[in-house]
Amino acid sequence: MTFPYILQEGLIFDGRSIILSLATLFYGPVVGLISGLIALIYRIYISGPGVYVGSLTVIISVALGSVFYKLFMRRNRQLDNKTLLLFNFFSQQYCSVFNVSLA
């Protein structure tokens, strides 16, 4: 991402999980898999101490985006602010839990 917070070399915090989860939510699992694969390959290429946490964050973001896509978009339900807030809460909480548990 353009302005990441780099704690140390290979330990990077950025908005990648937000972009991946929202892209998957709005455009479907195929877009999520393609963009997630690109982000995953790049994260592994960077390596460093955060490679496992970063890789798992990418996978979780795409997976949660796919679940919400199937629950709402595929069934032609409208995404309101409450649903987007709930989606954001779940995606960030799961990523935070895995970041803390694996760090």
- pLDDT tens figures, 49-77: 888 888 888 998 999 999 989 888 777 77
Residue at token pair 């898999």: 33
Tokens of 76: 């032609």
Task: Tell me the whole-structure pTM to 2 decimals.
Answer: 0.80
Domain map of the chain by residue range?
Answer: 15-102
Round the average pLDDT of the chain to a whole number and report it.
Answer: 83
* pLDDT at residue 102, rounded to an integer: 62
Length of the chain: 103
* pLDDT at residue 87, rounded to an integer: 85
Tokens of 83: 């649903």
Q: How far is CA 35 from the centre of its chain?
A: 10
40, 55 contact by CB (below 8 A): yes
- Position with higher pLDDT, 96 vs 55: 55
Kind plus residue range of the DSSP H or E element containing 23: helix 16-27
- pLDDT tens per residue, range 14-49: 778 888 999 999 999 999 999 999 999 998 998 888
| Whether pLDDT at 100 is above 90 | no
Q: Hey, what amino acid is at 19?
A: I
* pLDDT at residue 66, rounded to an integer: 93
